[in-house]
């Protein structure tokens, strides 16, 4: 079974939201048994819950993040993932510092979704930490749109 790992900084906002959204979208398309999702952060405090604002925004969509616990990115997580999707270039660089052999399977989420080159600053998904709920909603929309493009574009069955 394919495993997709989402990576951000603390694993309490973007990557935890991406994991929840991806599971939800796959369940809606009936493909939930074809892909496993995971998430981690390059500077995560393992065991931390999802950000209350991230959880609240996804709860509005019927997605429950209450069981999410942050975890620190490790080489083992990278090695076991079929695909690693990062939120920023800095996250991608850190993944490759930990495991230089993973280059063929590490992409910015927006790049993998087909939204321009990995060298374009617009391919980063901004960190909503400390921002109002409206920013979290915007980030959730951006994540959903890009994850849906990934699901639509690639046959994961």
Identify the active-site residue in 8, 13, 92, 144.
Answer: 8
Say if CB 106 and CB 86 are below 8 A apart: yes
DSSP states along 50-79: PPHHHHHHHHTTT---TT-B--B--HHHHH
Which residues share a beta bridge with 36? 3
152 is catalytic: no
Catalytic-labelled residue, pool 23, 69, 115, 127: 127
Q: Report which of 42, 53, 51, 39 is spatially closest to residue 5, judged by C-alpha positions.
A: 39
Question: Which member of 14, 71, 92, 144 is catalytic?
Answer: 14
Does residue 14 carry a catalytic annotation? yes
Based on the residue annotation, tell me whether 8 is a catalytic residue of this protein.
yes
Active-site residue set: 8, 14, 127
């Amino acid at each position: 079974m394919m495993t997709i790992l989402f990576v951000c900084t603390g694993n309490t906002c973007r990557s935890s939201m991406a994991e929840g959204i991806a599971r939800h979208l796959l369940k809606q398309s009936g493909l939930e048994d074809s892909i496993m999702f995971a998430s981690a952060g390059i500077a995560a405090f393992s065991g931390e819950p999802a950000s209350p604002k991230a959880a609240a925004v996804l709860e509005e969509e019927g997605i429950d993040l209450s069981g999410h616990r942050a975890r620190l990115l490790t080489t083992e997580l990278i090695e076991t993932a079929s695909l690693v999707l990062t939120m920023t270039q800095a996250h991608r660089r850190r993944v490759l510092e930990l495991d230089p052999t993973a280059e063929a399977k590490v992409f910015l989420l927006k790049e993998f979704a087909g939204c321009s080159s990995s060298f374009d600053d617009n391919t980063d998904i901004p960190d909503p930490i400390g921002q109002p709920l409206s920013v979290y909603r915007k980030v959730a929309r951006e994540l959903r749109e890009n994850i849906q493009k990934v699901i639509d574009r690639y046959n994961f069955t």
